[in-house]
Amino acid sequence: MLVLREHTVIIQVCDKFQMSYDGLSCLVYFSDGTSVPYTTAIDGRIIVKLNTPLISIEKVVYDFSNYRPRVGTLLAKEDFKLATRIPSKATAMEVVVPSPFSDKVKNLFVLVR
């Protein structure tokens, strides 16, 4: 019997002031060609469960077109130091975060707008 291990990928986003994006819509695109919509929690996180190691996350597209700023969470300085900056134009309605994503390390991205 072949047992495939499920793994969980946590992706977190914040702005350049270390404030998380609460209620931000996004689409997660997978290597098998499918996509699934998510909405960030108050701490800016989405939790993606992958049922098979054969499928990976290709990219996450955050949609600011209907986003209304809410009170987010201030992230710890230690977390912020590990973040990857994703630059975009201030008027951009979508911000794309490309792979790789890992289930072993923190996936924290600063969406610089």
pLDDT tens digits, one per residue of 69-85: 887 788 877 777 788 99
Q: What is the pTM of this model?
A: 0.89
Q: Which phi-psi region, left, alpha or beta, contains residue 64 (left: φ > 0; alpha: ψ -120 to 50)?
A: alpha
Exposed (0-12), middle (13-18) or buried (19+): which is 52, by Cβ within 10 Å?
exposed
pLDDT tens digits, one per residue of 6-43: 889 999 999 988 889 999 999 999 999 999 999 999 99
